[in-house]
Amino acid sequence: MIAALELSRVSVRRGGRKLFSGLSLSLAAGEACALTGANGAGKTSLLRAVAGLVPVEEGEIGFGGVEAGEARAGGLHLVGHADGLKPARTVREELEFWSVWSGGTAASAGEAARSLELDPLLDLEVRRLSAGQRRRLALARLLAAPRPLWLLDEPLSPLDARWRLGFGEMMRAHLAGGGLILAAVHDPLPIAAKTLEIAS
């Protein structure tokens, strides 16, 4: 169980260009952080570095004493622009697969679908979903297989006003259960959160 996220003077280089350096952050259980910065500043790269998908040039990323490999294998969710959903598969097939793959079950996928009001869409192909519905499907994976650390890349952008509030409730419930959230955003998060700005 990840109880903290610690970034210590982290630097990331992509495509021969140093995106940022000396970035530090300490996030305890129950806390959220909004990651801000201009387009191309490196917000997505930082999320991917925390997930272990992008190498860190300098500095360290810690998970409150949990070994990094273990934390990344079963302790975090990454929801980004590339959601990994297959257009030709149905909402049910995709949600159940990703639930099982992430450590949940088909039953927990059904509960997540109900929470995000996706149950009327379960037999639709993913290609038929609107951008907002598709984002709700991607977010449903957070509930289908609970993991303590949520790494969110612009989670609110395609959601309408009602679902922005709804996702705010989801995030509050996650934090109340001891979870942590690091979210790259342009719009303010609908919850109390620290802010970490990446200067370009």
Partner 1 sequence: MSRPRSRLGALLARETVLAWGRGGGPLVSVGFYAGVATLLPLAIGPEPSRLAAIAPGAAWVALALASLLSLDRLFERDFEDGALDHLTLSPVPLELTCAAKCAGQWLATGAPLALAAPVAAIGLGAPLSLAPLILACALIGGLAFAFTGGIGAALSLGARRGGLLTAVIVLPLFVPPVIFGGGALAAFAGGLPWASGFALLCAYAAAAVALGPLAMAAACRNALS
Options 53, 131, 165, 173; binder of partner 1; rule CB under 8 A: 53
Least distance to partner 1 from the beta carbon of 165, Å?
26
Cβ-based nearer residue to partner 1, 149 or 156: 149
Total residues at interface with partner 1 (CB under 8 A): 32
Q: Which stretch binds partner 1 (CB under 8 A): 33-41, 51-59, 169-177, 188-196?
A: 51-59
Sign of CA dihedral 174, 107, 103, 47: negative
63 binds partner 1 (CB under 8 A): no
Least distance to partner 1 from the beta carbon of 90, Å?
11
Least distance to partner 1 from the beta carbon of 195, Å?
25
Cβ-based nearer residue to partner 1, 81 or 128: 81
Q: Which stretch binds partner 1 (CB under 8 A): 47-55, 58-66, 117-125, 190-198?
A: 47-55
Cβ-based nearer residue to partner 1, 132 or 168: 132
Bridge partners, 25 (sequence order):
7
Q: Measure Cα distances from 114 to 1, 43, 147 in Å.
A: 26, 31, 19
Cα Rg, the chain, nearest whole Å: 16
Least distance to partner 1 from the beta carbon of 196, Å?
22
Whole-angstrom Cα distance, residue 33 to residue 26?
A: 9
Q: 11 in helix, strand or coil?
A: strand
Whole-angstrom Cα distance, residue 80 to residue 123?
A: 24
Residue with tokens 């992509």: 14
What is the number of other CB atoms lying within 10 angstroms of the CB of residue 97? Answer: 16
Least distance to partner 1 from the beta carbon of 82, Å?
3
- Provide the mask over 75-114, with x wherever binding to partner 1 is found by CB under 8 A and - wherever it is not: -xxx-xxxxxxx-xx---x--xxxxxxxxxx---------
Which distant-in-sequence residues (6+ apart) come within 8 Å of 101 by Cβ? Answer: 145
Cβ-based nearer residue to partner 1, 101 or 177: 101
Whole-angstrom Cα distance, residue 43 to residue 37?
A: 7
Q: Are 91 and 113 in contact (CB under 8 A)?
A: yes
Tell me which residues touch partner 1 (CB under 8 A).
48, 51-55, 72-74, 76-78, 80-86, 88-89, 93, 96-105
